Amino acid sequence: MFNQIKDLAGGELYLITSLLIFMVFFVIVGVYLLKLDKKHIEVMSQLPIQDNQPNVHEED
């Protein structure tokens, strides 16, 4: 498998760029999630469970 990667003849630039884009994306998402407000996470996690608003599709 590694011999195929070595024999790309100029394609290693694409491999390195795609790896860097992949790593940068996940580092940015990780930092975003670590800095996200914990109260906001709690409110968003309870949204599907809470039934504070009346259901407009219900008929009496």
What is the spatial distance between Cα 45 and Cα 21, in angstroms, rounded to a whole number? 30
Query: Domain residues of the chain, as ranges?
Result: 2-46
Q: Taking 80 as the threshold, does the pLDDT of residue 11 lie above it? A: no
Q: What is the pLDDT of residues 15-59, one digit of tens each?
A: 888 999 999 999 999 999 999 999 988 888 888 776 665 555 555
What is the spatial distance between Cα 44 and Cα 26, in angstroms, rounded to a whole number? 22
